[in-house]
Amino acid sequence: MNYQQKTNNLLKEQRNNWPLLAENFEGLKNVKLKTLPFEGFSFKVQYNSKRITSSAAKVDKDSIAARPCFLCANNRPMEQNQVLFEGVFDILCNPFPIFAEHFTIASLKHIPQEIGSSFGQYLDISKALPELVVFYNAPKCGASAPDHLHFQAGNTGFLPIESEYEGIRNKYGNELIVNPAFSLVTIDDGLRRMIVLESNEKEMLEWAFKPIYQFMKKLVGGEEPNLNILSWYSNQWRIIIFPRDKHRPWQYFAEGDKNILLSPASVDLGGSLITPLAKDFEKISNSDVADIMNQVCLPSELFEELCHFIKRSLK
Ligand SMILES: [Zn+2]
């Protein structure tokens, strides 16, 4: 049995044997959805009250140090089972799902969330799970366990950016490198800045990721760079990298009517905005989304610099 089949079976088993998880996956059928159209793409807003813990999570150093790590095997819920991936990661079902199939892929070791040294493993996981979009949230960009290396994965066919990508690329894309074995396209769609890598050669992707990581690391004084990454595999990898600026937009901290509890991570940048509060779901508008996306993505001028740096580095 391959990893994809094992993972599908795990979810079936957990839905039968873990009542909380079963209830939360069942509850997804009742989440409210609305679509906000933009030029050539769209955002889907999902009202999902179960996600409040994640969206409002305190991820500062003291709060993290004070809680038992929920990804370490010793602290996991009793009902939680896993599929061991290559002896290094556990594939786990996410008991607070956004996707109809939603997994967390946690390192067996309690080591910091860091993509520089795990990018190759990330690619392997993505290739082994072709029915899933595998994503990475950096410690300050939505990871709810910044102290424990992990990825997440959700079923394909959910994030708007998947089906809209070709259109976005044609309308807003700038082809930095395009050859039969590899392509690198940079995109500024007016809301989001992103870099898209495509190849069937792992080494090419690792080579192209290096300067992006390096540039972003320098921006934050050598700390783990602010990135969200989506990857899916079908004959080749398609990897969408969102270089980030703000962790949370000003609306997150605003008082009264101006408050919107939205803490964007990979899924949101992929076009599915998760609002855990009904008031936000009702009121959020196109201009709010545009404003929030522009705050959390790298500003256009810096993004230009990053693109020049990549071009120079990959000559
Ligand atoms: Zn841990």
User: Quick check: is 28 in a domain?
Assistant: yes
User: Quick check: is 285 in a domain?
Assistant: yes
User: Quick check: is 170 in a domain?
Assistant: no
User: Quick check: is 197 in a domain?
Assistant: no
Residues 38-78: pLDDT tens digits? 999 999 999 988 777 666 667 677 777 778 999 999 999 99
pTM (whole model) above 0.75:
yes
User: Quick check: is 203 in a domain?
Assistant: no
Percent of residues, the chain, with pLDDT higher than 90: 88
Residues 145-158: pLDDT tens digits? 999 999 999 999 99
Inter-residue contact 136 to 244 (CB < 8 Å):
no
First-to-final CA distance of the chain? 42
Structural domain of residue 91, as residue ranges? 3-160+223-296
Distance between Cα 276 and ligand 1 center (Å): 25
User: Quick check: is 315 in a domain?
Assistant: no
Distance between Cα 39 and ligand 1 center (Å): 42
> Could you give the number of structural domains in the chain?
1
User: Quick check: is 155 in a domain?
Assistant: yes
Mean residue pLDDT across the chain:
95
Q: Spell out which residues have Cβ within 5 A of ligand 1, the ion.
A: 69, 71-72, 110, 148
Indicate the pLDDT class of residue 235, thresholds 50, 70 and 90.
very high
Distance between Cα 47 and ligand 1 center (Å): 29
As given in the structure block, the two tokens for residue 257 are 């009517």
**What three-state secondary structure class fits 297?**
strand
291: pLDDT strictly greater than 80: yes
User: Quick check: is 166 in a domain?
Assistant: no
Distance between Cα 109 and ligand 1 center (Å): 7
Q: What is the CATH number of the domain that holds 122?
A: 3.30.428.70
Distance between Cα 105 and ligand 1 center (Å): 12
Residues 166-207: pLDDT tens digits? 999 999 999 999 999 999 999 999 999 999 999 999 999 999
Indicate the pLDDT class of residue 315, thresholds 50, 70 and 90.
confident
Distance between Cα 72 and ligand 1 center (Å): 4
What values do phi and psi take at 226, rounded to 5?
A: -85, 100
